[in-house]
Structure 1
Amino acid sequence: MQDENREEQTPVPGTEPAAPPVQPPAEPEEVVSWYVRPDRAREVQDCYVQPRPMPAVAIPKAEPEKKPHSRRGLWIFLIVLAVLVGTVLGVAVVTALRSGEPSDGGYDGGEDASSIVDIFGGDIPTISRADIDPSVRFYCQDAAEEKLTIQQVYAAVNPATVLVVAEMGEKASIGTGVILTEDGYIVTNAHVIADGQSVLVALADARQYEAELVGFDSAEDLAVLKAVDAEDLPTAVLGDSDECWVGDTVYAIGNPLGVELRGTLTQGIISAIDRRVTMDGKAMTMLQTTAALNNGNSGGPLINEYGQVIGINTMKMSNSIADAEAATVEGLGFAVPTGRAVTVINDILATGAFHGIPSIGVNVAEEQQPDGTYRPVIDSVTENFGAEAAGLLPGDVILAADGADVYSNYDLLRARRAHIVGETITLTVQRDGQTLDVEVYLYPVVEE
């Protein structure tokens, strides 16, 4: 038996837009295990890819009061970029970049590159807000039939991988982003734009755009930007992270240590699926990879062998200063899987913020039908979720979702993933020889 969300769920009270008048149940307790070194009292996880605090709270649609600020950091970046484009990369360029004190732009010798930081704190960015666009919706695509060479993967995705520079007055934060639409919707990490006052994105072909903030979510460490007046941009394809297997070859493209190493390609494998990584008491469900990730890779793509983005690189494990003499931590990088990221991105685009993973509220088991096909059959209905309010019952056979045939729990999951909290999904079910179409309201859930 499988839960349609794979985890036990509880609706979030007070966040349902125009929700049916039902009361949420008490939150269940869930045991989460992780490795703890026998000589330590805490987890190994120490450092995010970019050691910057993430903004603590997202305020959608509100235009923050703009503060006067210096543009010295931005001008420093522009000068450096111009030199790079002219292929003159010398010591003066590196020094200029570091004099801007980029929070993710390289190691200047003044602090340990693997120090522990609080990534869930930080101020709300004052970046100009872009208008939300509910008509824009992203979906994960199936893998192609033929795998690409590593050179083909790089040629396909590098043009859509951008350098993200968040200006913070006298310094700048440097990270990576992925272009999703030709008119400039870009996904990156929330901690890349934390404390930012303005954002500049630069493409591999040297084009540059000012960017506005559509929205972000700190807990998911994802942010959506909109390049101003952009058109005809190269785009990346979102693949389905649920199709990944441990051992699959993957690649990462990003800007490790800042501008001078921008567009770096690294290779590795998928080490684990649905890895629950706990940092500062907060758990995130991630893809684990051996592809090398370093400061500046934040927000960049994790790519499969078909040239599709299957994750947004977010963090890595590393030794802290206190662990300098302990065993070296290598090859432990983590990315937000696209199967989860698309829900966050779509919600941000539609509402300016993320309201949680939507849930139908059923547990299903795949069972063979008289015609020989397999279909999800409802095993149980969760109290106070949309399925119960819609009248779904144990034993109902799910034939279709939003008009598309459903043969597995995966098909049902994919259909639900196309929605956000507050929307409804149409399920076609068979009960006692009759076929019914049922509208199910999607509640948000809390994940421990």
Structure 2
Amino acid sequence: MELEKRTGGEPTEVVEIYRQGCTGEVVEAYTRPLPPGMMPPSILDRLRAEAEEDRRHRRSKRGLWIFLGCCGLVAVLTAAAVFWPWREPERQDKFQYYFEEETDQAPQEISIPGYPYGQGAVLEVETDHGPELTAQEIYQQVNPSVVTVMAQLGEQEASVGTGVIFSSDGYILTNYHVLEGGSACTVYLYNDHAYEAWYVAGDAESDLAVLKVDQTELPAAQFGDSEHLTVGDTVYAIGNPLGYELRGTLTDGIVSAINRDVWVDGRTMNLIQTNAALNSGNSGGPLINAYGQVVGINTVKMSSSYSSVEGLGFAIPSATIRRLVNDLLTCGEILPEPVLGITVLSLGTRLGEDLWGVEVQSVTPDSAADLAGVQEGDYVVAAGGIDVSSSADLLRARRQYHVGDEMPMTIWRDGTLMEVMLMLNEAATSETQ
């Protein structure tokens, strides 16, 4: 009414205003009561006794409730007759939103019974692909490789997420936060078969963890190279939104952005952004390209404390997963990335037709770059076989290498391209590049 007075009664347009700073990227761990099959026997016996006592109590009062119900019905009909016509109250839908706040708490310990690493298992990423598939074909091909992961957190509570079988002898990839705080784990296949899972290794910072089940000839998903993704590509997600009952849910969308730096729980993760619907319980599930290959592991979504936010999900790219998971499989931990010894501008500079590079701002004395001859004012145009047009490209190239490796680099200096070789003998930290 006040708005009509100010505008002279003319129709007005109402818009929502986006206020920067209110949204945040969150990792959601979906928890729910444990199903009976995962509860300890002592808890099951107590719950059964309580249920039997409750049934006896209800039977003893059933007759009284029937009598009171009849009296109430008579009273309602009488009141309706007296006060007719009456108006049904206006229905009000109530919505409640839950948002996780970022905390500085240390990751909780995973006490799930372990399985030894270093058994020769490898996560392979294919660089080629077959023909483009329909959504129905993709679902039939990938869904058998998608599992429900249920980690027991306490006597009556479990964390529910999704996982992907990547090796036919029972190796499964999921998110670390799905297992965090867990003491036991059960994996449910698409055909409802359930198996106890052992914990191989995991890393909280990269949010990746590997499980093992004692089965062979399982349907393993094929992993494709996320480096081939471009914005606008069709992608699909399969998972268990809101838990076990909705397992095997397929959603679709597009790649909204690649190499998106996202701040998650105190660290920056380089992720694929997608508008494919992701909800609590999808964590650890596959992001799939149009050829039926897993190109990412869904890990985080955007939320807001003041408005609905849709279509902002993020996945760890397979190009990153390959190195990290193989470190976990071989060593039981993520090996440190090497330091290059340079700082560069975030955005690239066009140096010529189809030639881009990032400018070197400084070079650390006696570092790998310094010993290779890289100088301040040079432009890095390629590293490790990857074209460099931003600092994110350079970091992506560095993730392919371990301390002790050699990394080729192409630099542009005063109009001339030069090839140098960096001997990566120093471990990188969050403060170095």
Query: How high is the TM-score relative to the length of structure 1?
Result: 0.64
1:181 aligns to 2:167 (yes or no)? yes
* Aligned partner letter, 2:280: N
Find the partner of 1:73 among 14, 34, 37. 34
Find the partner of 1:124 among 109, 112, 136. 109
Contact 1:124 1:195 in 2 (8 A): yes
Find the partner of 2:218 among 220, 224, 233. 233
Structure 1: 5+ residue stretches without partners: 1-36, 53-71, 79-110
Contact 2:255 2:273 in 1 (8 A): yes
Q: Which moved more, 1:172-181 or 1:238-247?
A: 238-247
1:343 maps to which residue?
323
In 1, distance between residues paired with 2:218 and 2:366? 41
Partner SS for 1:292 = coil
Q: How many residues align?
A: 348
Name whichever structure is richer in helix by fraction.
2
Partner SS for 1:250 = strand
1:276 maps to which residue?
261
Q: CA deviation at 1:344?
A: 2.2
Contact 1:141 1:237 in 2 (8 A): yes
> What's the RMSD between the two structures over aligned residues?
4.3
1:317 aligns to 2:311 (yes or no)? no
Query: How high is the TM-score relative to the length of structure 2?
Result: 0.66
1:223 aligns to 2:212 (yes or no)? no
Contact 1:129 1:213 in 2 (8 A): yes
In 2, distance between residues paired with 1:41 and 1:268? 25
Contact 1:241 1:310 in 2 (8 A): yes
1:242 aligns to 2:204 (yes or no)? no
1:203 maps to which residue?
189
In 2, distance between residues paired with 1:319 and 1:376? 36
Contact 1:360 1:385 in 2 (8 A): no
Given the superposition, is the C-alpha separation of residues 207 and 417 from structure 1 closer, same or farther in structure 2, using an over 3 Å criterion? Answer: farther
Q: CA deviation at 1:258?
A: 1.0
Q: CA deviation at 1:290?
A: 0.9
Q: Which moved more, 1:406-415 or 1:284-293?
A: 406-415
In 2, distance between residues paired with 1:357 and 1:415? 11
* Aligned partner letter, 1:440: L
Q: CA deviation at 1:425?
A: 3.0
Partner SS for 1:151 = helix
In 1, distance between residues paired with 2:272 and 2:407? 30
Partner SS for 1:298 = coil
Given the superposition, is the C-alpha separation of residues 144 and 277 from structure 1 closer, same or farther in structure 2, using an over 3 Å criterion? Answer: same
Given the superposition, is the C-alpha separation of residues 139 and 398 from structure 1 closer, same or farther in structure 2, using an over 3 Å criterion? Answer: farther
Contact 1:362 1:378 in 2 (8 A): no
In 1, distance between residues paired with 2:331 and 2:246? 36
Contact 1:44 1:317 in 2 (8 A): yes
Contact 2:30 2:242 in 1 (8 A): no
* Aligned partner letter, 2:37: I
Structure 2: 5+ residue stretches without partners: 1-15, 40-94
Partner SS for 1:257 = coil
Q: CA deviation at 1:209?
A: 2.6
Given the superposition, is the C-alpha separation of residues 381 and 283 from structure 1 closer, same or farther in structure 2, using an over 3 Å criterion? Answer: closer
Contact 1:355 1:444 in 2 (8 A): no
1:19 maps to which residue?
none
Given the superposition, is the C-alpha separation of residues 437 and 286 from structure 1 closer, same or farther in structure 2, using an over 3 Å criterion? Answer: closer
1:425 maps to which residue?
406
Contact 2:26 2:265 in 1 (8 A): no
- Residues 352-411 of structure 1 show CA distances to partners (whole Å, capped at 9, x for unaligned) of 22244445456899999xxxx99999978842686247645458999996xxxx484599
Q: Percent identity?
A: 38
Q: CA deviation at 1:423?
A: 4.0
1:44 maps to which residue?
23
In 2, distance between residues paired with 1:383 and 1:396? 16
Given the superposition, is the C-alpha separation of residues 438 and 134 from structure 1 closer, same or farther in structure 2, using an over 3 Å criterion? Answer: farther
Q: CA deviation at 1:345?
A: 1.5
* Aligned partner letter, 1:441: N
Matches within 5 A, 1:297-312: 297-312=282-297
1:444 maps to which residue?
428
- Residues 85-117 of structure 1 show CA distances to partners (whole Å, capped at 9, x for unaligned) of xxxxxxxxxxxxxxxxxxxxxxxxxx9553324
In 1, distance between residues paired with 2:410 and 2:264? 41
Contact 2:408 2:419 in 1 (8 A): no
- Residues 213-254 of structure 1 show CA distances to partners (whole Å, capped at 9, x for unaligned) of 222222222212222x22222212222223222211110000
Given the superposition, is the C-alpha separation of residues 338 and 359 from structure 1 closer, same or farther in structure 2, using an over 3 Å criterion? Answer: farther
